[in-house]
């Protein structure tokens, strides 16, 4: 009976090459799907946990988490967005109240095939129901200052990166 002798060095090199290729592919897929922001500087202001959850349901054009959401965590964040800065395509784990303190923020909806942004100037505010894909950009020449109040359930993420929906040229 003849024994087959495998040379372990070429097999180890081949296995390592396959592993590196798989890891590189996984990293490429992961980074190609996420659309992180740029030119946005968050500054946390305050955060707190409610003694008991509060059930919230907002009547909006969007679903706003359908039958409601159990909010347990609140946080307030100041964002400064430089000219050409963007939040990137994302969602939230709960509703977010947004107030524009200065500059003009342009909000894009991931469901809008026409990619028509809505501009929000100083003193304007809006409710982001959280459970839809959107992006916001500073298309002006001055910094935009935004204050956001996140209303999240236990374990809810303030930001969930999502894939570019392909409705806008950016």
pLDDT of residue 32: 45
Over residues 6-16, the pLDDT tens digits come to 455 544 444 43
How buried is residue 64: exposed, middle or buried, by Cβ count under 10 Å (0-12/13-18/19+)? buried
pLDDT, tens digit (0-9, with 9 covering 90-100), for 136-167 = 999 999 999 999 999 999 999 999 999 999 99
**Residue 122, helix vs strand vs coil:** coil
Q: What global pTM score does this model have?
A: 0.77
Closest CA to 123 of 143, 96, 95, 103: 103
Query: Could you give the C-alpha distances from 117 to 51, 83, 104, 130, 134, in angstroms and in order?
Result: 38, 16, 12, 17, 10
Whole-number pLDDT of residue 111: 95
Q: What is the mean pLDDT of residues 5-31?
A: 42
Q: How far is CA 32 from CA 53, 111, 141, 143, 160, in A?
A: 37, 20, 29, 28, 15
For residue 35, name the pLDDT band (cuts at 50, 70, 90).
confident
DSSP code of residue 13:
H
Angle made by CA atoms 124, 128, 131, in degrees to the nearest 5: 170
* pLDDT in the model for residue 23: 39
pLDDT at 107 over 70: yes
């Amino acid at each position: 009976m003849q024994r087959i002798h495998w040379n372990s060095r070429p097999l180890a090199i081949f296995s390592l090459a396959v592993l590196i290729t798989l890891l590189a592919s996984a990293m490429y897929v992961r980074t190609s799907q996420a659309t992180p922001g740029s030119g946005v500087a968050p500054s946390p202001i305050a955060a707190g946990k409610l003694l008991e959850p509060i059930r919230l349901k907002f009547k909006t054009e969007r679903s706003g988490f359908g039958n409601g959401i159990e909010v347990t965590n609140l946080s307030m964040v100041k964002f400064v967005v430089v000219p050409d800065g963007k939040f990137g395509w994302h969602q939230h784990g709960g509703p977010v109240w947004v107030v524009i303190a200065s500059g003009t923020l342009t909000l894009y909806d991931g469901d809008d095939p026409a990619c028509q942004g809505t501009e929000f100037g100083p003193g304007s505010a809006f409710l982001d129901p959280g459970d839809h894909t959107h992006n916001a950009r500073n298309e002006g020449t001055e910094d935009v200052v935004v204050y956001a109040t996140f209303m999240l359930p236990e374990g809810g993420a303030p930001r969930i990166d999502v894939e570019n929906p392909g409705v806008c040229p950016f």
